Amino acid sequence: MFSLWDYWQSFHFLRPWALWLLLPALLLYVMALLQARLASRWGQIIKAEYLGILAVDSRHHSGLSPVLLMLLTCSLAVIVIAGPSWQLKANPLKQTQEAIYLVLQLNEQMQEDKQHLLTAKLKIRALLQANKNLPVALMVFSGSAHSVLPLSRDHQAINLYLADLTADLMPEDGYRPDLALQYVQDQLDVQRYPQSTVVVIGNNESFAETSQFSGFKKELLKIYWSYEAAGMPAFFAQLNFEALQMSLGDSDLSHFKWLLKKQQQSLAYGEEDDWQDAGYLLLWPLLILALLWFRRGMVLSWT
């Protein structure tokens, strides 16, 4: 689901210091223009038919002039050296640092709308299917919070328990997401999984209880996944949760994948080894520009 704008936001140079080399290239371009203008003054002394043989006036060269070709060649070479990049490398080691903590609202209000609860369960299963290699933990909350399964790669076990989850199993009805998030924070294994994602799935309800929950680390990705994500409760908005609108199709799953990728890019920004160097893609046009110097008349005169 990455658009051109998203790629542009991720675009950067791995070696930005190399862009300073554009200044010498621009200086050479100005010097070449001045030299070409100086050579044209010989027209006042030498006849035009002889001047065309003795001097190279790049301003009157048909097509691409040598002076402009020099500027294009040098500029493109500098960009290649600077290392443009906008995509992360596929790194299995980094993938082992990711984990997902699912928090499902399971109170009477969620139970009343069976379609919402059923859809939420189907979305969780689809999410597990799309992230087979990631460890996932499942927790539920109403007036209290409880762990269904701790962090594990056994997604079949999560699916097994998921089918039987109903509000009747909860010892106390209510809406206490703060208890659930505090429970998640106690279970977080940040050292082993620094790129963890916390996903809260449920319906919007007012939350007026006093809370001692201060929030997660900024590095964690936090997602509020609901049918009414646009009206996300203030409790989650204050904790900088990303709103994810639940849909009947797969658009929300695609957006979820995009959020994960965006989080990875923000964490990897500034780490040169994590990004693909796309400068090699410019080597072919650079080679074409270099071959143009073998054309007849492609000469720069500095004397």
pTM summary value: 0.61
Please name the residue that has the structure tokens 């990455």.
2
Q: Where are the domains of the chain?
A: 4-87+275-294, 92-272
CATH number of 92-272: 3.40.50.410
SS3 9: helix
Within 10 angstroms of residue 171's Cβ, the number of other Cβ atoms is: 8
* E strand map for the chain: 12-13, 84-85, 98-105, 136-141, 145-152, 195-201, 221-226, 242-245
Q: Within 18-141, where are the H helices? A: 22-40, 48-54, 66-82, 92-95, 108-112, 114-130
pLDDT tens, position by position, for the chain (303 residues)? 445 545 555 677 778 888 898 898 888 888 877 776 665 555 556 666 665 665 554 444 445 677 788 888 888 888 888 888 766 665 555 556 788 999 999 988 888 877 788 888 999 999 988 888 889 999 999 888 999 998 888 898 888 888 888 888 889 888 888 888 888 888 887 778 877 889 999 887 766 555 667 777 666 788 899 887 777 888 888 888 888 888 878 888 888 887 877 776 665 544 555 667 778 888 888 888 888 878 776 766 655
Please name the residue that has the structure tokens 């609860």.
117
SS3 of the chain: helix, strand, coil, percent, to 5: 50, 15, 35
